[in-house]
């Protein structure tokens, strides 16, 4: 084992890098990409400097793995921008603050409003159908309302 470690060639590092990149294709989510590239870089350095000690090769591999991952993470964080559609996938959040007429009376804390062509289940104080209500919050598909007038 120690003998094979002391005689690592650039082919070993390129093979490890290739294997990691192939595994990345199968869905590692980007984790193995940077480690595979680090292994390939160590392979190139070992090709250029064939007498590089194996301990230094492993140190370079570790440092390059961490460095490439951190640099990519920082680039991704700086490139992230707020969404131009913050309400996307939060259906109903656009109704908060708006007023509606009760479509179905609120009895025992539950009723319905009609927003556009959709009926929404609402919770709030008991009110008769036709009352004006304002949406004050949302709990999943249930809108919380209060009387407005």
Q: How confident is the model at residue 91 (pLDDT cuts 50, 70, 90)?
A: confident
- Confirm whether 129 is domain-assigned: yes
The residue among 19, 51, 79 that closes a domain is 79
The residue among 22, 46, 79 that closes a domain is 79
Q: How many domains does the chain have?
A: 2
C-alpha–C-alpha distance, residues 1 and 106, integer Å? 76
The CATH number of the domain holding residue 141 is 2.40.50.140
Mean predicted lDDT score pLDDT of the chain:
87
Distances (CA, A) of 11 to 40, 43, 45, 57, 106: 9, 7, 11, 13, 74
pLDDT in tens, 96-139: 889 999 999 999 999 999 988 889 999 999 999 999 999 999 88
Q: How confident is the model at residue 78 (pLDDT cuts 50, 70, 90)?
A: confident
Residues 67 and 111 in one domain: no
Residues 124 and 72 in one domain: no
CB distance 142 to 121 below 8 Å? yes
- Confirm whether 141 is domain-assigned: yes
DSSP string, 95-140: GTT-EEEEEEEEETTEEEEEETTEEEEEESS-B-TT-EEEEEEEET
- Confirm whether 88 is domain-assigned: no
Residues 69 and 101 in one domain: no
Residues 52 and 119 in one domain: no
Q: Dig out the tokens for 54 from the structure.
A: 């194996």
Give the global pTM. 0.53
68 class by beta-carbon count within 10 Å (0-12 exposed, 13-18 middle, 19+ buried) = middle
* Residue ranges making up the domain that contains 20: 2-79
pLDDT in tens, 12-30: 989 999 999 999 888 877 7
> DSSP code of 93?
G
């Amino acid at each position: 084992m120690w003998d094979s470690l002391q005689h690592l060639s650039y082919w070993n590092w390129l093979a490890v890098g290739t294997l990691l990149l192939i595994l990345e294709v199968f869905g590692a989510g980007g984790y193995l990409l940077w480690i595979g590239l680090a292994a390939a870089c160590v392979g190139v350095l070992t090709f250029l400097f064939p007498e590089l000690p194996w301990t230094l090769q492993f140190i370079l591999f570790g440092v390059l793995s961490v460095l490439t991952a951190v640099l990519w993470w920082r680039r991704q964080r700086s490139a992230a921008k707020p969404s131009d559609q913050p309400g996307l996938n939060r259906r109903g959040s656009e109704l908060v603050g708006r007023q509606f007429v009760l479509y179905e009376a609120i009895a025992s804390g539950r009723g319905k409003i009609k927003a556009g062509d959709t009926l929404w289940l609402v919770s709030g104080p008991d009110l008769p159908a036709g009352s004006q209500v304002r949406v004050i919050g949302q709990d999943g598909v249930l809108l919380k309302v209060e009387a407005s007038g």
